[in-house]
Amino acid sequence: MGTLYLVATPIGNLEDLSPRAVRTLREARLIAAEDTRVTRKLLTHFDIHTSLTSYFEHNKLTKLDSILAALAAGDVALVSDAGTPAINDPGYELVKAALEAGYNVCPIPGPSAPLAALAASGLPTAAFLYLGYLPRKSSERQALISQVANLTYTLIFLESPHRLLGALADLRSVLGDRKIAIARELTKVHEEIWRGTIAGAREYFTKNEPRGEFTLVLEGKTKEEKPKWTKDRVLIAIKFGLKFGESPSELAKRVADESGWNRKEIYPLITETKKK
């Protein structure tokens, strides 16, 4: 039984195709490609002569049986036009079918526009949510954005150039003027990563016509910080807490949580107030 290899291909710069990816594409029995014309150019550049078959959105179900049959005879490599296959493309159905049929599925990692944009965005990377392309209609876009408006994760979307300004308008309408990084043409000659606020981005791309495919990286909802209390307000809270019998440790914790002060700053004030 063969293995289904998920081979990440360049999103622009051909030098990003790894030696392991080249070897896998060369040794596979068959390459299933989102667009055989695009993949043929890549294979020609690297002098790879493996047989090609198409596997895309409109034939993904009719091609499953033939690709699974090829897997029975040897290894198959799945590629998309650019980036990591099965992410935001029909490769998911093939991966699922291969696993259900008992075949091994092996990723050959490499280029990914969402991860590249996130890493260079300057926004938090510890937790993020990738949601692919925003809906075409404004009402549907706003509905989707509203569903994630209160999440603290960094948000990642894809967008086409002719819908970018409308998307930015809807993002600002629902989320407010958050920080954003907008990446286009990553790894290509005209690579650009614009960083600022949503309002600033809309102004910039109104003056500079959007070109290329865009990845939007947005700041998640930030925790609302309470204004730090004045010392007088802290002393009043301590005075009333002691009056109503709170222990110093309980009082220090409560006032710290409510005031924005550190507990170590509050304990001496409690001691001073008790002496008076």
What's the whole-number average pLDDT of the chain?
93
Residues 60 and 106 in one domain: yes
Domain at 169, CATH number? 3.30.950.10
Residues 119 and 206 in one domain: yes
- 184 with 191: CB under 8 angstroms? yes
pLDDT tens sequence across 41-99: 999 999 999 999 999 888 877 889 999 999 999 999 999 999 999 988 889 999 999 99
Residue 224's pLDDT is what?
65
Q: Which residues make Cβ contacts (< 8 Å) with residue 50, sequence separation at least 6?
A: 25, 26, 27, 28, 29, 30, 31, 43, 77
pLDDT tens sequence across 144-161: 999 999 999 999 999 999
122 occurs within a structural domain: yes
Q: Which two tokens stand for residue 32?
A: 């299933």
Residues 178 and 249 in one domain: no
Domain hosting 81: range is 3-111
